[in-house]
Structure 1
Amino acid sequence: MKRTLILSLAMLLITQLTFAQKTFIHAGKLIDVKNNQMLSEMTIIVEGEVITEVQKGYASPGRSDKLIDLKSKTVMPGLMDMHVHMENETSPRRYLDRFVDNEADIAFNSIIFAKTTLMAGFTTVRDLGGSGVNISLRNAINAGKVEGPRIITSGKSIAPTGGHADPTNGMRRDLMGDPGPEVGVINGVADARKAVRQQVKNGSDVIKITATGGVLSVAKDGNAPQFQQDEINAVIETATDFGIHVAAHAHGDEGMKRAVIGGIHSIEHGTYMSEETMDMMIEAGTWYVPTITAGKSVADYARIPGYYPAPVKAKAETIGPLIQSTFGKAYKRGVKIAFGTDAGVFPHGENYREFIYMTEVGMPNLEAIQTATLRSAELLGMEDRIGTIEKGKLADIIAVSGDPEKDIKVMKDVTFVMKEGKVFRMD
């Protein structure tokens, strides 16, 4: 009895000490993404998963506390990428792989891509389209089974028959069949509602539609609208009933207009976006996720003989180089912008390239970082939990070598990654 009491008291003491331990982070420079300014000599105090204090100067930790010395680094909130594809990565074999890869193959590959993304400083991503393995990957990360960013996923994208996300595009006719709403292929309002409900049932956090043709699908057109207005309206109305957002892949302007009229939450890519559409987006509060890196990457890969099928090569050469210019115009006009790259179209972990391309056409360095922190959190509706380094927020914190306010290229040099108070990288 006495031994049991002693053991119980010891366990209680150990538990109290564990929960009392704090982590003190000494930041030489700290980016205040709310005000786009650089602070110097700051201390961030973390308890468990949460930031409990942010103080000026280097506060001294207690004897039981942990100290992380980042005095030579620039510290900022964990980065967010609002357009990735965690299940795959570019390869000239991509169009063959869908016939030979099993679901388990896709899953094991996705684990590697997830860890690579986290190590690059991206603690939150929005996965906009895969086979459904992306839902299982999200669950595995949330359960602590594998390492990766926090994932907000759309599961399988929704498209019409022959549209950009029809999984049977380019197949032999006897293999095409007639896919329907259960795999995200719709024709008409009833199909639209069923497809959304199916994705929600499968566990999707957000819905994605392909409002126009796309570059990498084996189909001739990359710009034409793919949904009638009533179909778009039905998708968005149904998703809204579930309390979730809808994102629209769109290169052509007419498809963007229809999506904005229907109440779309974000436009992805936006290659041929007109000034009229920009103004519509500003009035409606629609977000724009540019994915410049994808545009530049596909244009480069198209120059490699045999990398893409002929229809894809032609679209990549035409559409790819235009996105950066559209982004510059949309930024100057005042469209709301969140950071997104389309990682998977190029190698995961190279997401930082988007910062370089954004600043090349006029966005200040710290504002570009703001799009990948505060603004992305706002797009997700999660700004009360993530996106800034403030008391009460989740401890998603990264650091880079160098000063990104002076040289945005140092965003490549991530040396420290903390997600929800747990350190995943410390070089």
Structure 2
Amino acid sequence: MSIRSSSQVALLCLAFAPALAGAATPTGLHCGQLFDSRSGEVLGAHTVLVRDGKVAGVTAGHEAVAGAEVVDLGGHTCTPGWTDLHVHLGGQSSENSYSEGFRLDDVDYAYRSVGYAEKTLMAGFTSVRDLGGEVAPHLRDAINRGLVDGPRIWAAGKSIATTGGHADPTNGYNSTLSHLLGPPGPTEGVINSVDDARQAVRQRYKEGSDVIKITATGGVLSYAKSGDAPQFTVDEVAAVVQTAKDYGYRVAAHAHGEEGMRRAVEAGVTSIEHGTYMSDEVMALMKRKGTWYIPTIHAGRFVADKAKIDGYFPEVVRPKAARIGALIQQTAARAYEAGVPMAFGTDMGVGPHGDNAREFLYLVEAGIPAAKALQMATIDAAKVLGVDDQGVIAAGQRADIVAVPGNPVEDIAAVLAVDFVMKDGVVYRRPGDARAAP
């Protein structure tokens, strides 16, 4: 973190003045405290100078910045913008979710996603990885063009599954409908061979995905009995990973069961999502391979709670939700103690969009220090994405900055009270705004 004296700040202001004369007005943030994501420490008062979407300087104390619009964030802690590595912006769980798949058009999901994206951004999440949903690449493009407000999106597009597996889009269809539509194949993200695996990845490339997502085991909310059985052969997973590497993609693997996780980690996936039945052996393997673990505790707790409500889930889903959902927080605690690389993700879309920050509280409940939980959503998340220009408040980084009242390292509940959000140097939320929090 760059710390300068008052005289150095004055020189910094003079140095910036000529360049700023013909540029957009810079912004100076007077932060009461600043979270250094590299050290995990909360530093004292700092001034952050933002220009042209980047952090131009970080100085100790509250100093005047020539020609800048100053935002007073005294009494707040500024942190790098948060990243949620597992969301589904194209939908949100409800008691009607399963029937809506037969009644709604893609455009209905697209319109809904606009509101979900805005809620996510206003909750402090300036970047997300959307792991499965055909709406996401289009939403990403609309946000990038400034048409709608939302986080920066790394979009997987359609998840890759096996026949009958989690993310087979025809699960639960009756025989007449299945006969009319025919069996889905690699274009629809369903594979049954090494060649299919390669074609499915190439199809995602054709469609403009940023990352590949596979469903290495059964899932909780799919209309199928198993929530943990392995659903890819070793060769199939390896073909996905190798083909993804050819296109510069990283691979995220949804996995609840031990064997499916082991196959995915051995094949070289970047991350394991959920990881419910992660064994000590798999944890050791992940440490050796450098595989990241994204726990998604929020989703586990959400589905476990909803499983208690008659009719919320189909009966084939309800036992899985009750059994698997309740275990994820325990697995996260064990993984942290074992030293498995971990980063932040919620599986939001299972729970309500905009509630993403509650994951921080669940991580701390699991025994993970608050500072580490914040690192998981900042500098660690950037490593999972493979980027080096975000996750830290430092000169040259993206100006993605969030501020919360008080000190979230001392009281993690402060993350639920975000009242300043900046993404790429644009202020979307500031203290006193009438724009309601999600």
- Asked whether the two chains share a fold, i.e. TM above 0.5, the reply is yes
The match for 2:86 is: 83
Question: SS at 1:339's partner residue?
Answer: coil
Amino acid at match of 1:72: G
Q: In structure 2, what is the Cα distance between the partners aligned to 1:401 and 1:16?
A: 31
The match for 1:283 is: 288
Q: In structure 2, what is the Cα distance between the partners aligned to 1:223 and 1:108?
A: 33
Amino acid at match of 2:52: G
The match for 1:422 is: 426
Question: For 1:97, which of 100, 122, 147 is the aligned residue?
Answer: 100
Q: In structure 2, what is the Cα distance between the partners aligned to 1:419 and 1:355?
A: 20
* CA drift at 1:173: 1.5
The match for 2:113 is: 110
Q: In structure 2, what is the Cα distance between the partners aligned to 1:224 and 1:16?
A: 59
Matched, 1:411 2:426: no
Amino acid at match of 1:260: V
Q: In structure 1, what is the Cα distance between the partners aligned to 2:206 and 2:40?
A: 40
The match for 1:161 is: 163
Q: In structure 1, what is the Cα distance between the partners aligned to 2:149 and 2:315?
A: 37
Question: SS at 1:247's partner residue?
Answer: strand
Question: For 1:394, which of 398, 418, 426 is the aligned residue?
Answer: 398
Amino acid at match of 1:316: A
Question: For 1:262, which of 263, 267, 274 is the aligned residue?
Answer: 267
Q: In structure 2, what is the Cα distance between the partners aligned to 1:41 and 1:282?
A: 37
The match for 1:51 is: 55
Q: In structure 1, what is the Cα distance between the partners aligned to 2:319 and 2:198?
A: 34
Q: 1:264-296 CA deviation, whole Å, 9 max, x = no partner? A: 110000000000000000000000000001000
TM-score w.r.t. length of structure 1: 0.95
* CA drift at 1:18: 4.8
Question: For 2:237, which of 232, 235, 244 is the aligned residue?
Answer: 232
Amino acid at match of 1:142: N
Question: For 1:127, which of 123, 127, 130 is the aligned residue?
Answer: 130
Question: For 2:153, which of 151, 162, 168 is the aligned residue?
Answer: 151
Question: For 1:209, which of 214, 220, 224 is the aligned residue?
Answer: 214
The match for 1:5 is: none
Q: Give structure 2 stretches of 5+ with no counterpart.
A: 1-18, 432-438
Question: For 2:344, which of 334, 339, 352 is the aligned residue?
Answer: 339
Question: SS at 1:399's partner residue?
Answer: strand
Q: 1:287-324 CA deviation, whole Å, 9 max, x = no partner? A: 00000010000000111110000011110000000000
Q: In structure 1, what is the Cα distance between the partners aligned to 2:258 and 2:390?
A: 33
Question: For 1:243, which of 248, 252, 255 is the aligned residue?
Answer: 248
Matched, 1:363 2:368: yes
Q: 1:354 to 1:16 in 2, by over 3 A?
A: closer
Q: 1:17-67 CA deviation, whole Å, 9 max, x = no partner? A: 3516321100001101100111111000001100010000111022x3200
Q: In structure 1, what is the Cα distance between the partners aligned to 2:21 and 2:89?
A: 38
Question: SS at 1:318's partner residue?
Answer: helix
Q: Answer yes or no: is the 8 Å Cα contact 2:20–2:26 preserved in 1.
A: no
Question: For 1:301, which of 295, 298, 306 is the aligned residue?
Answer: 306
Q: In structure 2, what is the Cα distance between the partners aligned to 1:408 and 1:350?
A: 14
Q: In structure 2, what is the Cα distance between the partners aligned to 1:259 and 1:348?
A: 28
Question: SS at 2:164's partner residue?
Answer: coil
Question: For 2:38, which of 34, 37, 48 is the aligned residue?
Answer: 34
Q: Give structure 1 stretches of 5+ with no counterpart.
A: 1-14
Count the aligned residue pairs: 411
Q: In structure 1, what is the Cα distance between the partners aligned to 2:429 and 2:36?
A: 22
* CA drift at 1:402: 2.0
Amino acid at match of 1:228: T
Q: In structure 1, what is the Cα distance between the partners aligned to 2:22 and 2:324?
A: 55
Q: 1:334-379 CA deviation, whole Å, 9 max, x = no partner? A: 1000100000000001111111111112111111000000000011
The range that moved more, 175-184 or 331-340, is: 175-184
* CA drift at 1:148: 0.2
Question: SS at 1:165's partner residue?
Answer: coil
- Root-mean-square deviation (Å): 1.2
The match for 2:7 is: none
The match for 1:19 is: 23
Q: In structure 2, what is the Cα distance between the partners aligned to 1:20 and 1:194?
A: 46
The match for 1:373 is: 378
TM-score w.r.t. length of structure 2: 0.92
| Dislocated runs of 4+, deviation >6 Å | none
Amino acid at match of 2:355: E
Q: 1:129-162 CA deviation, whole Å, 9 max, x = no partner? A: 01x2111000000111100000001000000010
Amino acid at match of 1:106: Y
The match for 1:252 is: 257
Matched, 1:194 2:204: no
The range that moved more, 145-154 or 352-361, is: 352-361
Question: SS at 1:147's partner residue?
Answer: coil
The match for 2:141 is: 139
Question: SS at 1:215's partner residue?
Answer: coil
Q: In structure 2, what is the Cα distance between the partners aligned to 1:324 and 1:354?
A: 10
Q: Answer yes or no: is the 8 Å Cα contact 2:24–2:52 preserved in 1.
A: no
